[in-house]
Structure 1
């Protein structure tokens, strides 16, 4: 087992690992256990009772969190014609076509955190599947990132839109803000995200849907949340 730092060990003493916390209580504990010198990012890890290997049990989507995530994401947009100006007007960091495909393929350039593409650009964007896919950056109609309404897509991402999707272990990992947000804002972001995930429950999912929910900040131990209390 790796030796944890002193601050981590101090924080770990404040978290009862055998307990399932109410969402409000868990969120209230975050400032006490987050001892880093920077404003730590808060993440949710949600294990679902589904099998993502089956297409009808996939859980994927995107939601704008009411208070954003505390940082503005760098957005790359694949577009042409008047859609270029539309994306730039809403603050897209990079807008173009073939030149960015080449830059990513040849220079391994990845200085962006979200990608939007118009449907007519997906032919060339598809060539980046191997690079963008594993990083969760491939544009997708389900998350609103393949669209002709590029202005709206960029605006939402800049406002704090987050994507949620299952990983290979049927766990969703999503940032929901910074420790400095305080309890009220964090709880609103938490509830908004959980509501969306509960709503996205596949009809074919059997048994317990929310298996376990853990909230963590960058350098602190995870706090287990009582899934039965979510949405109550």
Structure 2
């Protein structure tokens, strides 16, 4: 097995041996599929390094985007909603519903939750689990549209392809934009709408070039540097 991995790694390194080369999005998608050697349907991910001061709240980038073709994965949603909203949340597709999960989370309940949705009326009850949800990026937030008076609508949208994004402490946005099995056309359209949304969220306080670098990768593979001209008019 180790020899096969070494052989595959050598193939990858040969393909991307020029460290200074930047690829158009179209060529990067072709190359990404060529150097993908895992046997499962790998996630296609994009990493965008922004020229922002993450210490300043005014330059913290966060938002949502509806990907036209989704990400090829069932999003697992926990709906922390009052009793009268539970039926609405369940019908919309929430995987777990109800305020009883607050105590379960405090007691160490673990599952592969991707998103937590809540109504404004219950936010004052979530303080006790903020330190648990916060570090995982799961704390409901109005800017991420995960705090809503209409949780059913929010849940349906997220199940249909709406994803959230935000800068990490290094000023990088990481996002899943599909699967290797997606057609290049679908991946191209998902990435273009994702990038358009990130660019539209440029804070007025950010000076100079907004985007430092963009990398495209698949699960367990190398990042491919993209030519910024694919997205930014210079």
Fold equivalence (TM over 0.5): yes
Report the CA distance between 1:133 and its aligned residue: 0.9
Q: Please give the alpha-carbon distance, in whole angstroms, between the structure 2 residues aligned to 1:211 and 1:42.
A: 20
State the Cα deviation string for residues 100-119 of structure 1 (Å, max 9, x = none): 11111112423311100000
**Counterpart in 2 of 1:83?**
85
- SS of 2:181's partner is helix
Q: Please give the alpha-carbon distance, in whole angstroms, between the structure 2 residues aligned to 1:140 and 1:172.
A: 17
CA contact (8 A) 2:23 2:227 kept: yes
Q: Please give the alpha-carbon distance, in whole angstroms, between the structure 1 residues aligned to 2:15 and 2:209.
A: 29
- SS of 2:183's partner is helix
Counterpart check, 1:179 vs 2:180: yes
State the Cα deviation string for residues 62-86 of structure 1 (Å, max 9, x = none): 1110000001111000111331111
Q: Please give the alpha-carbon distance, in whole angstroms, between the structure 1 residues aligned to 2:83 and 2:129.
A: 22
**Counterpart in 2 of 1:5?**
5
Q: Please give the alpha-carbon distance, in whole angstroms, between the structure 1 residues aligned to 2:96 and 2:194.
A: 28
- SS of 1:204's partner is coil
With normalisation by structure 2, the TM-score equals 0.93
Report the CA distance between 1:231 and its aligned residue: 4.8
CA contact (8 A) 2:83 2:98 kept: no
Where structure 1 has 5 or more consecutive residues not aligned to the other structure, the ranges are none
CA contact (8 A) 2:133 2:139 kept: yes
Q: Please give the alpha-carbon distance, in whole angstroms, between the structure 1 residues aligned to 2:89 and 2:9.
A: 42
- SS of 1:177's partner is strand
- SS of 1:82's partner is helix
**Counterpart in 2 of 1:51?**
53
- SS of 2:203's partner is coil
- SS of 1:181's partner is coil
Count of residue pairs the alignment pairs up: 229
